Structure 1
Amino acid sequence: MKSTLTAVDVSAPTESSSTAVSWGPIVAGAFAASTLTLILMLLGSGLGLTMVSPWSGLSTSVTTFAASTAAWLIIVQWLSSAVGGYLAGRLRTKWVGVHTDEVFFRDTAHGFLAWA
């Protein structure tokens, strides 16, 4: 009985030459967040100036002014961070052949990097 051996090609999995981090969308998300912050701060300062009156007794109290300022700053921070993180996660390069959990993680990481 004659046995024959044949060569079997075994290929090791290769790593992708591209990085998992796309810096363009991260910078775009950070820029969008900064721009939205600037626009909302200008709007907030305009609204804040309408609350103050040069005549005594006609303007709001300091407590009301401070509370509304704090609430506005929190809203501005949340909105700007959400928009910047969302854009960074959605504008990133599309990864083909990657598990959906990995895609979700990479999108989230891009959003966090835009916040930083």
Structure 2
Amino acid sequence: MPSTLTTVDVSAPTESASPAVSWGPIVAGAFAASTLTFTLMLLGSGLGLSMVSPWSGSGASVTTFAVSTAVWLIVVQWLSSALGGYLAGRLRTKWVGIHTHEVFFRDTAHGFLAWALATLLVAGVLGTALSAAIGTGVQAASTVASGAAMGASAGAAANAG
């Protein structure tokens, strides 16, 4: 009985020369998400300030204000993250010869990385602003305290003399 031998190609499939992560679209998505966040926060600040009133009983209650603020912050994050992730997924170069599930995963990973970078950008800007505000408050308090100390010593000297 004759035997037949068949050859099987066992070489590994060739990998793509381009990386799976495209940082350009991720950075673009992060900047778009951060910009939309700041824009919507300004709009929300205006809407929030229009809800309050300096006169008692004529503005929104504290509970209404707090709930509407929380809802607005959630909506801002959803919209900003959706825009940034969508742009990061759509702006990347097209991968050819890759299974559809892998393309979906890579697009999702690009969106997630855009969200993470945008979150770091917003946290950095807010941290810097908060640090500057605290520094200004401490400087103002020290100026007031030194002025009070000078006034007290001048008053004590006037009473003694």
Q: In structure 1, how many angstroms separate the alpha carbons of the residues matched to 2:102 and 2:12? A: 21
Shift, 1:13, TM fit: 3.2
Bigger radius of gyration: 2
Cα drift, residue 14 of structure 1? 2.5
- Is 2:59 aligned against 1:59? yes
Task: Give the equivalent residue in structure 2 for 1:48.
Answer: 48
Residue 91 in structure 1 maps to residue 91 in structure 2:
yes
Residues 82-112 of structure 1 show CA distances to partners (whole Å, capped at 9, x for unaligned) of 1111110111110111111111111111111
Find the counterpart in structure 2 of residue 34 from structure 1.
34
Quote the Cα distance in structure 2 between the aligned partners of 1:19 and 1:93.
11
Unaligned 5+ runs, structure 1: 1-9
Greater RCO, 1 or 2 (C-alpha within 8 Å, sep 6+) = 1
How many residue pairs end up in the alignment?
A: 108
Q: SS state of the match for residue 24, structure 2?
A: helix
One-letter code aligned to 1:46: G
Structure 1 length-normalised TM: 0.87
Unaligned ranges ≥5, structure 2: 1-9, 117-161
Residues 25-79 of structure 1: per-residue CA shift (max 9 Å, x gap): 0000000100000000000000000011112211111011001001100110111
Identify the residue that residue 80 of structure 2 maps to in structure 1.
80
Which segments of structure 1 move beyond 3 Å, counting only runs of 4 or more?
A: 10-13
With the length of structure 2 as denominator, give the TM-score of the two structures.
0.63
Question: What's the RMSD between the two structures over aligned residues?
Answer: 1.6
Q: Which residue identity does 1:79 align to in structure 2?
A: L
Q: Once the two structures are aligned, what percentage of the paired residues are identical?
A: 87
